[in-house]
A and B are shown apart, each in its own frame.
Chain A
Amino acid sequence: MEKKLMKGNEAFAAAAISAGCRYYFGYPITPQNEVPEYMSRELRNVGGHFIQAESELASISFIYGAAAAGARCMTSSSSIGIALMQEGLGSCVVCELPCVIINVMRAGPGIGAIQPAQADYTQVVKSGMNGDAHCIVYAPTSIQEAVNMIYHAFDVADEYRNPVIICVDGMIGQMMEPVIIPESRAVIEEKDIEKTKPWALCGHRNRRDRNKINSVFLNQYELEDRIMNRLLPKFEKAKKELPEWESRNLEGAEAVFVAYGSTARIAIEAMELLEKEGIKVGIIRPKTLWPFPDAAFDEIDSKTTKVVISVELSLGQMLEDIRLALEGRYPTALINRVGGILLSPVEVAERTKAVLGGMK
């Protein structure tokens, strides 16, 4: 496989096509426009379909329809556009329709700023959807990791029959890195959909009962049954099987950073700066945000660690999950910037020293 220098957003699109995605529906929004642009250029060359939707409401509805029809499909957007998709996403969850959504985060609230932020954490992880719904959320730190996660996400979506969100920030979407796009997978042909996805809408051909995909329940006991006996077991299975993380330097660490996405790269550089000054810091990098990798926090060195620090581009949205995972075992602190401002390694290092100084 050839290593190519690619822009993040373009590599995401290429990875989806390699994974067998042949349907993309999306609406322009900065900083993810290269995803629909790439799809509009490339999908037709592999017999796929691209539609520029009239709005994000329509994008997610196209997805809802194409996923119900049994296709591998994807949309992408950014923050406020993802907010517009919440109703449709919830419909995909309750109807158990597999699909992949890329969120290239920008700053909010409101129209906000187009610069990178991580303030969609609550929206995607806790879910802005009404009802008891979860999307599976991956948070890559590099373009290559994003590519691998997107490639894998279509399988996870199919296995769990649930939407999967790839949550990156504008920095990863907009930068360029050398990347290997995995080999193209075979695409399921239309005629084979009814075999591989017997629940999908294909027309009953007078051979079976009609399929129905419903999100309204006239009998509330049926809805409770759907939530308790179909969604909940799936969410519990996801919590057992899907959490992924990377940890470094936890042994003997005085402080432990928790950071994801582009911020994890900055935190790792800060960690190296601090090490030169004789301050030992470790890092836990969640690769999945939902399910959150609670077990990662059991690896913290209880003999040396004084504080667990969330390094994030939001007002401590992830810090809440860290505290839940820690169950009071360690004090916590927050090092953050918001509004589209990135942290620098020097700033993180200096603020870490201040946190540690304040604890003595």
Chain B
Amino acid sequence: MKPVFEYTQGMRDKETHYCPGCSHGVAHRLIMEVLVERGELGKAIGVSPVGCSITAHQYLNVDMIESPHGRAPAVAAGIKRVHPKAQVFTYQGDGDLASIGGNEILHSAERGEKICTFFINNAIYGMTGGQMAPTTLIGQKATTCPYGRDLDNYGLPMKMAEIVSCMDLAVYVERVALNTPANIRKAKQAINRAFEVQKLGLGYAFVEILSACPTNWGLQPAKAMEWVTRNMIPYFPLGQLCCPEEVK
């Protein structure tokens, strides 16, 4: 009998520590499925961030290193210089990438580092317990903005995909979401394009992945998915900001 569905060999046989309804599991699996389908699992090297996914190496079946907070793109660039044919990627959350690591992400994009970044934007700090992130929405409550994020104090949430896309050598920038099966399929295509961009040596590839954090949002998993649809996507519009002809 031909199996119609199998557990990807890109994931290790280990139950994750993520909360029910968290998008990390889906994002992990999409990246690993893409690498397996591309036949590149053995040449991939991942850099995990400070945040809930710091120990992603427990689950992702590729060589991995944990980065100091925010520095994943510089760590990845160091690795890529040593192993230019490897598929090197960073996996970063919003506090890691948009706040403390803002400088590294911009400079890696501007240098056109031939790496991929998968940016998990769930509009909140997860591991530290629900503090405000640079991507927390106006009015959204967090433990460090218990009355809701206000414009006067903190300004507007950062649209990282748009910011990164201003860098000319960030040749592929797309924002996707993991809120519906259709969007999950699109996310997988985006991840594949990012690795293809790296393989062809075209420049820096950045995929922002809108994700749910039911625990820190105080929502049931299904409601959290609706929250992505209703609140995040209108502010963080989905779609490609730039894409080279070669991978369209």
Contact = CB atoms under 8 A, between A and B. Distances in A.
B81 A66 contact: yes
Interface in A41-58: 49, 51, 53-55, 57-58
Contact of B41 (A63, A73, A87, A206): A206
B71 interface: yes
Contacts of A201: 45, 63-65, 79, 83
B63 A23 contact: no
A87 B69 CA distance: 9
Contacts of A213: 64-66
B5 to A, nearest CB: 22
A62 B42 contact: no
A70 B63 CA distance: 13
Given A69-B83, A88-B68, A203-B45, A64 B78 contact: yes
B167 interface: no
Contact of B78 (A66, A95, A202): A66
Interface string B56-91: 010011111111111100111111011100110000
A211 interface: yes
Contacts of A55: 103
B47 interface: yes
A210 B68 contact: no
Contacts of A212: 57, 63-65
B185 interface: no
Nearest to A58: B74
Contacts of B70: 57
Interface in B37-57: 41-45, 47, 50, 54-55, 57
A216 B65 CA distance: 10
A212 B56 CA distance: 10
Interface in B97-129: 103-104, 107, 111
A66 B82 contact: yes
B78 A25 contact: yes
B133 to A, nearest CB: 20
Nearest to B111: A51
A285 B21 CA distance: 62
A213 B45 CA distance: 11
Given A55-B103, A207-B42, A202 B68 contact: no
A204 interface: yes
A267 interface: no
Nearest to A73: B78
Contact of B75 (A65, A202, A206): A65
Contact of B57 (A62, A203, A210): A210
Interface residues of B, number: 39
Nearest to A217: B55
A203 B63 contact: yes
Contacts of B61: 204, 210
Contacts of B42: 203-207
A63 B62 CA distance: 21
Contact of B76 (A23, A65, A67): A65
A277 interface: no
Contacts, number: 136
A196 interface: no
Contacts of B55: 214, 216, 218
A325 B50 CA distance: 40
A62 B78 contact: yes
A54 B110 CA distance: 11
Contact of B66 (A62, A70, A202, A216): A216
B107 to A, nearest CB: 4
B104 A61 contact: yes
Contacts of B47: 65
Contact of A58 (B63, B69, B103): B103
A255 to B, nearest CB: 46
Contact of A61 (B12, B50, B62, B75): B75
B203 to A, nearest CB: 16
B71 A58 contact: yes
A104 interface: no
B62 A69 contact: no
A202 B63 contact: yes
A202 B67 contact: no
Interface of B: 12, 17, 41-45, 47, 50, 54-55, 57, 60-71, 74-79, 81-83, 86-87, 103-104, 107, 111
29 contacts: A23-B81, A54-B104, A62-B77, A62-B81, A64-B65, A64-B75, A65-B75, A65-B76, A65-B77, A68-B79, A70-B82, A73-B78, A87-B69, A202-B63, A203-B87, A204-B42, A205-B43, A210-B60, A210-B61, A210-B62, A210-B64, A212-B57, A212-B65, A213-B64, A214-B55, A214-B57, A216-B55, A218-B17, A218-B55
Given A61-B75, A210-B61, 10 more contacts: A25-B78, A62-B74, A65-B75, A68-B65, A88-B68, A95-B65, A201-B64, A202-B86, A203-B62, A214-B55
